[in-house]
Structure 1
Amino acid sequence: MLLTRPALTADDATATALLNCLVREVCAPEQQVWADGGHLVMRLPRVGVTLRTGLARPPVGPTYRLAPPFEERRTASWIATGWERLADLVAGELELVTGQANPEFLTQVRDSRATLGALLAARGDVGEGAREELQGAQGAVSCYLESEQSLLSGHRFHPSPKARQGSPAQWLPYAPEARARFLPRWLAVREELLIEEGDPAAFARLDELGPAVPPGHRLLPAHPWQLTLLANRPVLRKAFAEGLLHDLGSAAPEVAPTSSVRTAYVPAADVFCKFSLDIRITNCVRKNAWYELTGAVALNDIIQPIFASLEGCTFLAEPAYRSVALADRRLHEGLGVILRQGVGGLNGTPLLSAALADPYGSTLSRLPALATPEGALAWWDAYVQHVARPALRAYLEHGVILEAHLQNVLVAVDDEGMPVQTAFRDLEGTKLTPAWHDRLAALPPRVREAITYDSGRAWNRVVYCLLVNHLTEIAAAVADLHPGIDEDLWPTARPHFSSCGDHPQLRALLAGVPFPAKANLRARWARTADRTATYVPVPNPFAGP
């Protein structure tokens, strides 16, 4: 029986995200959560409040399907509780847990809710003809872009998943969730002031498609919003005034922002441009730091031969970057753009994994292969093979830590929707273990630091991204379609893990030790960097009943 997908509202999505975080990071570790019929009940012991929410079905692994109503216990009855009250209660409990306040927290939650409301309104303004064209598009690129731009609600286990600086008037023209398309701004940069690392031919196709430049200059694509943010930098204004840079304005080719907001796909060139954007989105300001620009090129040289040896997958290359050499580091970082390989060479139709897992979406249910329980189990078997095996082998055999979360993986499917190839992406989140120390010795210390993890953090990151953030969410989405197969999902997945070798970490994983889940709520409360986030234990579905 198909689980009815909930209608998406800004209020309910905000409340659900808060409660998901509360259960995972506070109530469950302290044994303050339990199922009661069709409800999930959670106690906040320090503020002395008990809450409950609807429970659509039993969990598949460490993930719940919460549903309205959201209620608070008052004397002998349950009363409706809105997202603002829930945010206040979560903040109160965290302040008592940690002994510290966070005056930014409630503002971030409100901003996230307001952003989602604006996105839903903008999405609803898309004309019927345009909507039919997008939904009916048969081309692989159109289907791919629809999956990239479908993530309205955001991360289910983040307290403010859609927090975004700026007003809707500023960011809606560049919002993937609003199905945005825009023209880049183009700069002509004096050749001696252009910085370029990596493959010198990487930008050739963009150079052909962009506007003409004066003699002695090179093209640099820029995000229009970012150029507005940098417009008052004195060094940039002087460079324009002296003719070191020329603003050529907005020009083709058209680009489409992907789920990360700042990375845009250029269909005409089949490349991605990963722009800097000095805007805080969810956790951090999305700029290309100087050490990330250099680190991407260094990592790409290491990663590509490794993935050439892994079957059924690829890693989208980041062969080069461009920026400017002006006496202002913020301009070097802020105008830096990393080029990423496109999706044209993938086998089949690429789909973003996050779109497949979205409980508010319908991408997974549109795939013919999942029409029956038997087909859905075969699809899950193929999916785990194509995603889990290469991610685990990359770490266990090569010391490469993939950030294989839902937004960093594309799965190419055939005409029936069966997975045939996986594409991993984003070298910013990719790290190396200390085993690579000698190979990295020639890099600047800050670059080495940015692209490596110690062994303890490495395994936690691999398991969290691959299993907690990714596969448990895909499993839940499959079980939404066919709840009767939920008990078969993880036994089906087990052989793909055990086939990756007899490693102590894998033995522990398959024996049922709890998974490490990144504590997004606590990280936001403590205002710590993502790299230093702590982890909380969550149930391991390999442990069985």
Structure 2
Amino acid sequence: MHRSPTAEAEVADELSVLRPDLAARYAAELPGARAAVLTRLWRALTHEPLTWVEDRTPDRDGLTLRLRDGRRLHGPAPDPYATAAYVTAVRLDDVTYDRPARLMTDLAVPHGADLVAELDHSVASLALSRAGRPAHPKEWPTSDWEWEQRVVDGHPFHPNCRSRPGFSVAEQLAYAPEHGPRVGLGLVPVPAEACLVTGEWPDALRDGRRVLVPVHPWQAAHVLKRPCEAQLTGHPLMSLRTLALDGGPHVKTALSARLTSSVRDISVGSIAASMTLSAFAEDMAAHADGLLHVTRTLGAVTDGSPDLGAVLRESPQEYAGSGERVLPVAALATTELPQSTAWLGEFTRLAVTVGLRLLELGVALEAHGQNLLVVLSATGAPLRLVYRDLADIRVSPARLARHGIPVPELPARILTDDVPALRRKLFGSLVAGALAGTAGSGTALRAALETAVRDLPRTPDLVALCEEPMPAKALTLMRLSPGRPGDRWAELPNPLL
């Protein structure tokens, strides 16, 4: 059967012109990238509630999935918390597949075409990221952005961990954090009366009666369709659209491209609520006995469209004392710290204690490895946590009222008293996300959680954490469900059972 050119081949062709010095390394990284994406896809196929999977049966060689049309898909015994690429091939009836996009093509499931393209890009971009990553010095970084640029593989469990459709090889090398670039941002002038501005927008980003809105160069070229001379420079962080400005705060820009799951726009509602939400989160962090800081939003602006807006935020570096380091939890895997059972247990205890404390008060953090950061001592001991990006937290008015905490005016989508929804938000991001990604396997995660929960108050939330199935976002199901907004969920086996 004729197949269209793959993203793997397209990237190779572009590299041969742009960076021929990377071509051989890119080719060498492709098998590992395919296995990494296939491992993430296998997690989805074996645990997400996909209607076209009718049965999952363990056997001596692994696990067999019986599909609705009678075909059988076989692969290794799954570990839903594994981050190592342990799935190198699966078998659909009598055909073996080592390329996730080809597997998804031949599964021929409803709405699968877009996911096929994204899996194809994910493999190619991941191989490119691994090929182009700079060598890390033995010394730990001193700045937070250097830590962020160490995270090469992207989301530890999403098959679209490095999917960047719409980005050429040149643009990935120029803008993606793992390649270590410094990116120039343009400034788009907008009449002040045509803007929504909240917080303190700095004088340096104003021009008389005009507000200067930072814009990402990709957004300027592909969405705004206008030249935009670079006037600010910064280092891209894990989210790619957020940059640590040279000598200043972090700035989140609009980026209307689908990266992993989402189009990275900035809504008018999020700008309007940004300062209220920031102040509320700062007050709530004060209830965590000094173990949690929340980066403050300094200012935010939008021209009223999702395509042009920006948020200025404190750098997490503000919360590192002398000799301390602050880094995203996702970057812990680039150190040797998680290899120590004692260290992993100590860090897990800190994260679970803080997460459950806030949940009891009425705030469910989306504490995945990008939003959650940890402050380490000079010897590597986990001291405190830092949280950033409040757009997707959930707040329970009933729980706040129970503790005598007034409910601020927050967007309706953030407010819920639904207990399963609150627990899914925290457990799915923290345990099935950040902690699992740090531990690297179900066995290590179980040991760390046993240490963490041993002495905690036995609240209903803790009982649910220890005894109920572990929620995780059904990321592949969500990509196969066009027209159905919002999160979908899978239930993973609880590592403590």
The TM tier, using the shorter chain, reads 0.7 to 0.9
Match of 1:423 in 2: 386
C-alpha separation between the residues in 2 aligned to 1:422 and 1:45? 44
Q: CA deviation at 1:137?
A: 5.3
Matching residue of 1:262:
241
Match of 2:4 in 1: none
Deviation at 1:138, TM superposition (A): 4.8
| Distance of aligned partners of 1:278 and 1:82 in 2 relative to their CA distance in 1, 3 Å threshold | closer
Q: Does 1:72 align with 2:94?
A: no
Structure 2 Cα separation of the partners of residues 22 and 219 of structure 1: 46
* Alpha-carbon contact 1:352-1:409 (below 8 Å) kept: yes
Partner of 1:126: none
Q: Larger radius of gyration, structure 1 or 2?
A: 1
Are residues 381 and 222 of structure 1, via their aligned partners in 2, closer, same or farther at CA, if it must alter by over 3 Å? same
1:386-419 alpha-carbon deviations (Å, 9 max, x no partner): 211111111112x112101111111121222211
Matched, 1:404 2:367: yes
Q: Distance in 1 between matches of 2:473 and 2:87?
A: 25
Using the aligned pairs only, state the percent identity: 23
Alpha-carbon distance change, 439 to 264 in structure 1, aligned in 2, over 3 angstroms: same
The structural deviation recorded for 1:165 is: 3.1
- Cα distance in 1, alignment partners of residues 485 and 454 from structure 2: 32
Contact in 1 for aligned 2:82/2:436 (Cα 8 Å): yes
RMSD of equivalent CA atoms? 3.3
Q: Which of 77, 83, 97 is matched with 2:100 structurally? A: 83
Which residue number in structure 2 is paired with residue 149 of structure 1? 149
- CA positional deviation for 1:340: 1.0
Q: Normalising to structure 2: TM-score of the pair?
A: 0.81
Q: Choose from 318, 322, 332 the match for 2:301.
A: 322
Q: Match for 2:370: what amino acid? A: Q
2:260 to 275, 282, 293: 282
| Counterpart residue number, 2:269 | 291
How far apart are the structure 1 equivalents of 2:412 and 2:259?
Answer: 23
| Correspondence 1:203 to 2:210 | no
Identify the residue that residue 242 of structure 1 maps to in structure 2: none
Alignment-derived partner of residue 331 in structure 2 = 355
Shift in CA distance, 298/313, structure 1 to aligned 2, threshold 3 Å: same
CA deviation string 1:509-535 (max 9, x = no partner): 33x22112221111111125563x222
* Residue equivalent to 1:541: 495
Deviation string for 1:297-327 (max 9, x for gaps)? 2211211111123122211111321234xxx
Number of the residue aligned with 1:517: 472
Structure 2: gaps spanning 5 or more residues: 1-28
CA contact (8 A) 2:35 2:98 kept: no
**2:349–2:449: 8 Å Cα contact kept in structure 1?**
no
User: What is the identity, as a one-letter code, of the residue corresponding to 1:42?
Assistant: T
The residue aligned with 2:32 is: 9
Q: Which residue of 2 aligns with 1:461?
A: 425
CA offsets per residue over residues 207-227 of structure 1, 9 Å max, x none?
Answer: 2xx7xx654444432222222
Alignment size in residue pairs: 457
Q: Which residue of 2 aligns with 1:108?
A: 118
* Matches of 2:464 and 2:240, distance apart in 1: 37
> Which position in structure 2 is the counterpart of 1:394?
358
How far is the alpha carbon of 1:423 from its aligned partner? 0.6
Matches of 1:503 and 1:108, distance apart in 2: 41
Matched, 1:164 2:164: yes
When structure 1 is superposed on structure 2, of 156-165 and 15-24 the one drifting more is 156-165
Relative distance call for 1:26 and 1:138 in structure 2 (3 A) is closer
Matched residue SS, 1:21: helix
Separation of aligned partners in 2, 1:354 and 1:379? 16
Q: CA deviation at 1:73?
A: 6.9
Q: Is the 8 A contact 1:292 1:450 kept in 2?
A: no
* Alignment pair present for 1:221 and 2:214: yes
Note the residue ranges of structure 1 that are not aligned, 5 or more in a row: 1-5, 124-130, 238-246, 358-362
Change (3 A) 1:103 1:495: same
